[in-house]
Amino acid sequence: MLYAIIGHDVVNSLEHRQQARSQHLLRLEDLRDQGRLVLAGPFPSVDGIDPGPAGFSGSLIIAEFETLEAATEWADGDPYVAAGVYDRVEVKPFKKALP
């Protein structure tokens, strides 16, 4: 089943994001290589692709996991959690309707 993982950043998370980004991306690339990643990306804090020093307000990952518990465990192991980027993380079942 698909799950949406929504990470909500702490205020001024950009420095922490930059430090943990490569490890965060490695985990996402592993999901991609397994054919389980639907999409992943950050929410810019301002209306633009490159928010510059404004940074990001969070991230969205949609991926396939066996159970909600497995998705939650994976999300809890994200380097952004360990680095203090996320204030909180939500994990919800997701049903793709389109395209």
Angle value at C-alpha 44, between 11 and 15, nearest 5 degrees: 45
Cα 84 from Cα 63, distance rounded (Å) = 22
pLDDT over threshold 90, residue 3: yes
Count Cβ atoms below 10 Å from residue 95 Cβ, excluding itself.
7
Cα 78 from Cα 11, distance rounded (Å) = 18
| pLDDT tens-place string over residues 17-59 | 999 999 999 999 999 999 999 999 999 999 998 999 999 999 9
pLDDT over threshold 90, residue 65: yes
